[in-house]
Structure 1
Amino acid sequence: MRAVLKSKIHRAWVTDSNPDYIGSVVIDRTLMEKADLWEYEKVTLCNVTNGERWDTYVLPGDAGSGEVSVQGAGARLCMPNDCLIILAYLLSDKPVVPKMVLVDRENRFVEYLSAEHHLTEREGVRVVGGKP
């Protein structure tokens, strides 16, 4: 069995960070569904802004809210307006096609990304997927 990428939310923006909570990342329920993330699922948060990486679990936020709120100790590793990549993995003995979601600056769904997409320039940022 191998750990392979199952889900990805690419370039999510932190809307709030609260170190006084037990832990987790609260994600807009709509984005959770698009990326196939479950409540309490383990995720790795990669902070594009400062290079930090840590694991936590997902809690659902209000659908359509654009919320990506980092709670607990992880809140010390980011601040509002930091850019994150949110990753979830699974164990498999076969290749897996991950659900990869690109969001805009308000954490609204833009498009699904795929390995077949080529690198393009979008809003001054190189991303995988889509048309220029």
Structure 2
Amino acid sequence: MQKLMLSGKIHFARVTACELDYEGSLEIDPEYLAEAGILPYEKILVVNRTNGSRLETYAIPGVPGERAFCLNGPAAHHGKVGDVITVMAFSLMSEEEAREIDPPVIVLNEKNDIIMRKGVRK
């Protein structure tokens, strides 16, 4: 049996930009992607704590060090600058792997600085 499990998470990120005239996706600082164990172009679930919206898209790496979280294309309708979002990636794994997983989670503050790390980064 296969299980779909949380494999990486970025918690309390602040949206830094919304660009409607773009192909789509969520641009994320690649340093945060690496810390959370999320690959560039991996499918993600984005939950907007501010307005309650949820969307599935993919992670596009931005410029390292810019701390960007930019909603692009149609995803831009799901938030505005300053909104608080959580980004989650999920992976299919065996039941045995699922029982052992301790996904990497990073928690950000209002300036998108990492203030806490949880789980195991591989």
| Same fold by TM-score greater than 0.5 | yes
Superposed CA offset, 1:73-96 (max 9, x none): 110010000000000000011222
Output one character per residue of 1:60-115: Cα deviation in whole Å (capped at 9) or x when no partner: 1111111000101110010000000000000011222111100111212112135x
5+ unaligned residues in a row in structure 2: which ranges? Answer: none
Matched, 1:29 2:34: no
TM-aligned CA deviation for residue 19 of structure 1? 1.3
Corresponding residue of 1:127: none
% identical aligned pairs: 30
Aligned partners of 2:24, 2:53: CA distance in 1, in Å?
16
Distance in 2 (CA, whole Å) between partners of 1:22 and 1:65 is 21
RMSD of the alignment, in Å? 0.9
**Cross-structure match for 2:6:** 5
The corresponding residue for 2:107 is 102
Aligned to 1:126: none
Q: Tell me, what secondary structure is at the counterpart of 2:32?
A: helix
Partner of 1:49: 50
> Which one is further off, 9-18 or 55-64?
55-64
- Identify the structure with the greater helix proportion: 2
User: What SS does the aligned partner of 1:3 have?
Assistant: strand
Residues 36-81 of structure 1, C-alpha deviation per residue, up to 9 Å, x if partnerless?
A: 1111100000000010000011111111111000101110010000
Dislocated runs of 4+, deviation >2 Å: none
Separation (CA, whole Å) in 1 of partners of 2:58 and 2:49: 19
- Calculate the TM-score normalised by the size of structure 1: 0.83
Aligned with 2:35: secondary structure? helix
Q: Which has the higher contact order (CA 8 A, sep 6+)?
A: 2
SS in 2 for 1:66: coil
What corresponds to 1:71 in structure 2? 72
